[in-house]
Amino acid sequence: MTRYVRQIQLPGVGDEGQARIARARVLVVGAGGLASPVLSYLAGAGVGHLTILDPDHVEESNLHRQPMFRMADTGRAKAVAAAEAIRALNPEVMVDAQTCALTPANAPRVVEDADVVIDAADSFAVSYCLSDACLTARTPLISASALGQTGYVGGFCGGAPSLRAVFPDLPQSGATCATAGVLGPVVGTVGAMQAQMALRVILASDPSPVGHVVSVDLARFQFGGFDFAHSPEPDHSFPFLSKDMLKADDLVIELRDVAEVADPIVPAAVRMTCDMLDDLQETKGRRVVLCCHSGLRAWRAASQLQSRGFGLLAVMAAVACT
Using an 8 Å Cβ cutoff, are 129 and 103 in contact?
yes
Per DSSP, the three-state class of 18 is helix
Using an 8 Å Cβ cutoff, are 56 and 29 in contact?
no
Per the annotation, the verdict on 274 as an active-site residue is no
**How long, in residues, is the chain?**
322
Residue from 129, 157, 177, 321 carrying the catalytic annotation:
177
Alpha helices in 169-255 (DSSP H): 177-180, 184-202
* Residue 23 CA: distances (Å) to CA of 18, 47, 93, 116, 286: 9, 7, 10, 12, 46
- Residue 3 gets which letter from DSSP? G
- Say which amino acid occupies 131: S
For residues 36 and 22, give the distance between their C-alpha atoms in angstroms, rounded to a whole number: 20
For residues 25 and 268, give the distance between their C-alpha atoms in angstroms, rounded to a whole number: 41
For residues 52 and 224, give the distance between their C-alpha atoms in angstroms, rounded to a whole number: 30
Q: Which residues have a catalytic role annotated?
A: 177
